[in-house]
Amino acid sequence: MSEVRAAIYLRISRDDLDTGLAVERQREDCLRIVTERGWNLIAEPYVDNAISASKRKVSRPAYDRMREDFEAGAFDALVCYDLDRLTRQPRQLEDWIDAAEERGLLLVTANGEADLTTDNGRLFARIKASVARAEIERKGARQKRANIQRIESGRPAPGRRRYGYEPDGTTPRESEAVHVRRMFEHVAAGGSIRSIAMMLREEGVDPAPGKQWGAGRVRYILNNPSYGGKVHRFGEAVDSSQITPIVPAELAEEVRAILADEARRTTPGPAVRYLGSSLAHCAICDATMMNLAGGYRCRESASHAFINKESLDSRIREEVALAFLSSGRDLVASGESGSVAPLVAALRKNSAAALATAEDRDEGLLSKADARTRLVELRIERESIEAKLDAARAERSSSSSLADVAREVLGDEPRAVLPKDFFGPMLDAVVERFAALDIEKQRDTARALIDVTVEKGRDNRRRIHIWHKLATHLNPDLVGPGE
């Protein structure tokens, strides 16, 4: 009789302590069988540690490699701890039964030999697999019922630890919760998901239990109602008395509404690189200026205004610094931006009404004339809502940016209105601090404070015209003699 070539397959669904001891026990028992029978072990055992065999879609790399090796004729006998270690899928078992019938595969388990070449052996294996499958289904039903009970009591379903919370899913972990609050406040104040993700990466904030900070992960956190003290209950977010919220429910709802706003840019495109691009306007045609070859030129015509990049950027930063220095925090004392949540909800309601009207018309439930009248009314209403949304977005972005810059550049001390020639070296210091801010924040702040136009000519400073929107005492027709 020729020498039997044997392979060993080892698997366990969960290794909670990540020690590998359970698999090691299987290895010892299976190696003993190979030794006692005098078989030749072809290679190291195939091992799938902490991988379930219950679901066909779950990949088992070692199992797949073993199947390929068997098809290539690498072994004649297969040893495993138990049949349910090999598979819990009746369909997979049938594959091994076919292999035993067609090629005489010997299948041995640590608790008895399963001779798949005989009727009784196949019957035993099929009953074993069916029992294992039934156990899985019963366990799944118990887990499902337990999860429903947890949800009904206001507790989240078990799973991977959620960032910001302890493993119980209800108690905040303050070292992470502080960053969750930053995310919500940043977006509520008009910031982008991309920029907060970038800040977290640059600051080296530990992303555990995730792998890294990216826009997708930040968006997932912001859209998760749990952070506002809610729990998912059959597709709906409901208040929970068990979860301690990390952010106020109103803030969480507002941020979700902002992210649901269809007009919000979800793919921001290339990062802002030039301060004056799209901020300054051509004095000839009022088109915006764009970056080109180290300078800014009119988008409409190359024969219109063109100016050196550094000249325009330096002047913009200087005027912004002057606005802050001469006005102080009074510059950002105007009211707070309103919530966009009601406007987003109104826009959704409007869209649903328009769709229902069109469906009623198509089904003959509403005359074409009446449907047309209703759709026109809804269109006018939608345009009004969209205009209010645009205004709220602009107000939110500018007020947030100005407030941040005021804190970073001026601190908490208020300042009186002062003439522009009062500051001397202070101006350079504030310009330097402003220039050190994120370029997006610089441009948003400048857009909120000033209008910029550029004329044709040679004198770079004289042909840059600045009009202050808030620090109006700096405008040419209001400054005093000699200033």
CB count in 10 Å sphere of residue 8: 26
pLDDT digits (tens, 9 = 90+) for 35-52: 999 999 999 999 988 777
Q: What is the pTM of this model?
A: 0.42
Per-residue confidence (pLDDT) for residue 266, from 0 to 100: 45
* Lowest mean pLDDT across 292-296, 332-336, 379-383: 332-336
CB-based contacts of 5: which residues, under 8 Å, 6+ apart? 39, 40, 42, 74, 75, 76, 77
Per-residue confidence (pLDDT) for residue 483, from 0 to 100: 41
Residue 90's nearest CA partner among 131, 130, 138, 140 is 130
Higher pLDDT pick, 213 / 51 = 213
> Going by DSSP bridges, is the β-strand pair 112-114/106-109 parallel, antiparallel, or unpaired?
antiparallel
- Do residues 79 and 42 lie in contact, with contact meaning Cβ atoms separated by under 8 Å? no
Backbone angles phi, psi at 46, to 5 degrees: -80, 125
Higher pLDDT pick, 151 / 230 = 230
pLDDT digits (tens, 9 = 90+) for 219-229: 999 998 889 98
Per-residue confidence (pLDDT) for residue 6, from 0 to 100: 95
Per-residue confidence (pLDDT) for residue 268, from 0 to 100: 47
Per-residue confidence (pLDDT) for residue 79, from 0 to 100: 92
pLDDT digits (tens, 9 = 90+) for 162-204: 899 998 888 999 999 999 999 998 888 777 888 899 889 989 9
Long-range CB pairs of 112-118, under 8 A, 24+ apart, other chains included? 114/83
pLDDT digits (tens, 9 = 90+) for 261-311: 655 554 444 555 788 888 899 999 988 899 887 799 998 888 899 999 999
Per-residue confidence (pLDDT) for residue 472, from 0 to 100: 84
**For the chain, what is the mean pLDDT?**
79
Among 40-44, 268-272, 422-426, 429-433, name the most confident range: 40-44
- Do residues 11 and 63 lie in contact, with contact meaning Cβ atoms separated by under 8 Å? yes
Element spanning 467, H or E: strand 464-468
Task: Name the band, by pLDDT with cuts 50, 70 and 90, for residue 402.
Answer: low
